[in-house]
Amino acid sequence: MEPLKPPPRVRESPAPSILRLSLVVYAAVALTTVLAVVAWVWMGKAGDFPIEPSPHLPGGAIVSRMILIPGSGAEKAFYIDTAEVTNAEFCAIIHCADTALPPNQPVVNVTMAQARQYASYKGKRLPTMLEWERAARAANPAYRLSRDIWDLVEGPAGPSAEALASDGQPKPSRPIPERHSAPDIGFRCAKDP
């Protein structure tokens, strides 16, 4: 009787190991992509990213729809929207009852709470009265003032509401009750650098 020979060794096909390696690489790329998107949203939320200062814009560098108002002395630098928040921007975040609003016009008839909620969602805040006035005096062509719109700002003492407007020179502030809205009151956002 002949001794039993071990069965011939079957070589494993490389396909399963290549498949495992492909899955590991795919999972790593997917995880990296998800983390990058989360970081981008957490850091920018609105897609605001700095653009190099332009020699044609003496007031500061534009950041997406924002402009940098430089600090001096005790005044801190800050970013502020170049124009009021539009109906399209606002309605994309906060539900709007009127769907026939002109999309590129400033949003109006908003309360202080709605303006703060929108700003918070975007990772921003409402400007203070002093910041708004500094931005209005910056003489930067990128910063636009709507003559018909009063901007909501945080008041000088705690969370109070004020509205500011300009027709070339800032007008005196207009006290606004927290829950008040009006067809000539809108807002813009600010952000710390």
Per-residue pLDDT of the chain (193 residues; tens, 9 = 90+): 677 777 666 666 666 677 777 777 778 777 777 776 666 555 544 444 433 333 443 444 444 589 999 988 888 999 999 999 999 999 988 878 777 889 889 999 999 999 999 999 999 999 998 898 888 887 777 888 877 888 999 876 555 567 777 666 667 788 888 888 999 999 999 999 8
Q: Enumerate helices (H) and strands (E) in the chain, giving the number of each.
A: 4, 8
The residue to which tokens 């290549």 are assigned? 18
Contact 107, 90 (CB under 8 A): yes
Contact 168, 183 (CB under 8 A): no
Residue 161 bridge partners (DSSP): 154
pTM of the model as a whole: 0.63
Residue 106 bridge partners (DSSP): 86
Residue 115 bridge partners (DSSP): none
- Closest by CA to 191, choosing from 88, 121, 136, 113, is 121
pLDDT at 45: 44
pLDDT at 169: 63
121 vs 34: CA distance, rounded Å: 20
Provide the CATH number for the domain formed by 62-191 in this structure.
3.90.1580.10
103 vs 90: CA distance, rounded Å: 9
Which bin fits 165, alpha (ψ -120 to 50), beta or left (φ > 0)? beta
Residue 149 bridge partners (DSSP): none
Contact 119, 126 (CB under 8 A): yes
pLDDT at 189: 96
pLDDT at 186: 93
3-state helix, strand, coil in the chain (%, to 5): 30, 20, 55
